[in-house]
Amino acid sequence: MASHSSKIKKGWNGPKELKGLPIEDSFRSHGIPLEKVKKDETEFSVLKNWLESYELSELLDAEFKPIPEILDILPEKDLRMGMTKHGNGGAIAKELILPDLQIYEYSSFEPAKEYASSMGRLGEYLRDVIKLNPRNFRIMSPDETESNKLHSLFEVTDRGYMWPVPFGSENIGPEGRVMEILSEHTLQGWLQGYTLTGRHGVFISYEAFMMIVASMVDQYSKFLKQSDLISWRSPVPSMNIVLTSNAWRQDHNGFSHQNPGFISSVLNDQCNKVNVHFPADANMLLATMEDCLRTKNMVNVIITGKRELPQYMSIQEARLQIKSGINRWVWAGNHDSDPDVVFVATGDYMTQETLAAIKILKEIAPEMRTRFINISELTCFGIGDNRNLCRISLREFRELFTADREIIYNYHGYPEDIKHLIYNHPDAHRFHIKGYVEKGTTTTPFDMVVQNGTDRYSLAIEAIEYASAVNNEILIKKGTLQKQLEDILEKHRHFIKEHGEDIPEVTEFKL
């Protein structure tokens, strides 16, 4: 025990022992060492003697208030521990200087004709955020900056690295603003410390990996909820989390890397501190990121693919959509004003599949009337939920979703997320929710959506079913149309086994 004598002992500042057994510096100090204090005289006197050893009568006056000598020791306002600039970082936080988004905009294109990697574009934007804010902005990432397509960052900064730089290394150095370490727990802790002290940051991870820090994010949103109640606490820059390399494109890593559970976990949070964004394309990702970087005291989660995907909106249109998080894309539907069936999508890959279903239907059944709605934010869409964040009335709801048509909702994550958000809404029964239903493996990109029932052909087959109930022309052709699509799915199943890649109908498809 000698080696312990120079340290502070476990259970120091408590009774030293009870009935010959040690409390201080033993396991008992981390339990309830005096459990029977109300009944056992020995325990009672041990407690009494210990409490009296503080000689409280010397410190308090007759009314049990601290004596003036004690009150005099208390530090002044800003010197109090929680009120120092280190403890109340929001008070010294500087707004980020953000570059003009127009610089990064894809402009002058028709919707869905050009392709880009959202993450690639984000890399260029964040590169310039670093350039403009060299001292108060950092990126956290578990060694995935390159694989998440953010290589542009290394045009202006390094990975932070304090030791001598090894031979053959690239983009590392002591001034680096990109913090890479293969520990999501450490990164989450760093980001909390960094934002709580008034600086800004973005955590970028593979979607499936974030689940391992779901509990830390829970605790942090609880902290934010409570800190709102403290009048003198200044709000701190938000925690921004970008999840990419998601379940729908894990062609090589497979089942273990498919897990949208973090989204479910934060949507379950009832602290009103979390927004989850699903930008449909690169311009919308940029507008979303700009918006998030300006918020305070929030946990902003952004879900985005990193592969080449169709581009739909200008920056201006994107800014408009993120105000409500819901948008009807009139150009995407077919006779959108009075549809037979309504399609909804959330998430970029799901948006692409759903638009492909609509395109196919336009070709094989031009008399079928369809509408497309993109939902790019959850919690704001919390219709009927107990967060009261629903921003649309029933009248507006039915203008968007019609008063009586069936709604096919293609969702990025677990369908359960949407189920509990729209539960109790009077029109909930019209929603048919598709999503990730744990059918994953190492397979082709298109087979992932087929296995989970979120693919264009399955969506179209289901839409024909609903449309046939209200559109007689579709009713007549229903069997033929559905068979035609089922045949392609059947071909797909054989083709991928033989060729190890997707059918040409998919790989050569253009929206």
- Residues making contact with a copy of itself (CB under 8 A): 1, 21-22, 26-27, 30-32, 143, 146-147, 166-170, 211-212, 214-216, 218-219, 222, 225-226, 255-256, 259, 261, 264-265, 267-271, 386, 414-417, 419-420, 422-424, 428-429, 437-438
Neighbouring residues of 366: CB distance < 8 A, sequence distance ≥ 6: 334
Nearer to a copy of itself by Cβ, of 339 and 440: the residue is 440
Let me know: does 458 contact 445? Beta carbons within 8 Å: no
Kindly list the distances between the CA atom of residue 223 and the CA atoms of 159, 192, 217, in Å, as whole numbers in the listed order: 30, 11, 10
Nearer to a copy of itself, 264 or 482 (CB): 264
8 Å CB contact between 311 and 112: yes
Torsion angle, alpha carbons of 414, 290, 295, 98, to 10:
160
CA-nearest of 454, 438, 450 to 488 is 450
- Which residues pair with residue 115 across a beta bridge? 310
Cα 477 off chain centre by: 42
CB 221 within 8 A of CB 75: no
Structural contact between residues 93 and 199, judged by C-beta atoms closer than 8 angstroms: yes
Q: Which is nearer to a copy of itself, 225 or 335 (CB)?
A: 225
Which residues on adjacent β-strands are paired with residue 205? 243
CB of 354 to a copy of itself, least distance (A): 19
Q: Which two tokens stand for residue 221?
A: 């949103």
The minimum distance between CB 208 and a copy of itself, in angstroms, equals 8
Smallest distance from a copy of itself to CB 83, Å: 22
Q: Quick one: 190 or 255, whose CB is closer to a copy of itself?
A: 255
User: Whole-number minimum distance, CB 255 to a copy of itself, in Å?
Assistant: 6
What is the smallest separation between the CB atom of 479 and a copy of itself, expressed in angstroms? 26
Judged by beta carbon, residue 339 or residue 415, the one nearer a copy of itself is: 415
Question: How far is the C-alpha of 122 from the C-alpha of 128, rounded, in Å?
Answer: 10
DSSP-based helix, strand, coil % in the chain, nearest 5: 45, 15, 40
Output the smallest distance, CB 407 to a copy of itself, in A: 13
**Residue from 294, 217, 206 nearest 253 by CA:** 206
C-beta closer to a copy of itself: residue 225 or 391: 225
Shortest CA distance to 294 belongs to which of 93, 24, 509? Answer: 93
- Rounded to a whole number of angstroms, the minimum distance from the CB of residue 195 to a copy of itself is 19
Q: Which is nearer to a copy of itself, 290 or 385 (CB)?
A: 385
- ∠ CA 439-184-304, nearest 5°, is 50
For a copy of itself, give the closer residue by CB, 102 or 226: 226
Q: What backbone phi and psi angles, to 5 degrees, belong to 182?
A: -80, 55
Q: How far is the CB of 442 from a copy of itself (least distance, A)?
A: 11
Which of 23, 332 has the CB closer to a copy of itself?
Answer: 23
Query: What's the min distance (Å) between Cβ of 154 and a copy of itself?
Result: 13
Distance of CA 415 to the CA centre of its chain: 16
Q: Which is nearer to a copy of itself, 12 or 109 (CB)?
A: 12
Q: How far is the CB of 278 from a copy of itself (least distance, A)?
A: 18
Q: Distance (Å, rounded) from C-alpha 105 to C-alpha 417?
A: 32
| Residue 30: C-alpha distances to residues 26, 171, 263, 383 (Å) | 8, 47, 36, 46
- In whole angstroms, the minimum distance from the beta carbon of 331 to a copy of itself comes to 31
In this structure, what are the phi and psi dihedrals at residue 510, rounded to the nearest 5 degrees? -125, 135
For residues 131 and 225, which CB has a smaller minimum distance to a copy of itself in the complex? Answer: 225
Give whichever of 375 and 422 is closer to a copy of itself, judged by the CB atom: 422
Measured CA to CA, the distance from residue 155 to residue 128 in angstroms comes to 10
Q: Least distance (Å) from a copy of itself to the CB of residue 219?
A: 6
Query: 173 has which bridge partners?
Result: 160
**CB–CB of 98/293 below 8 Å?**
yes
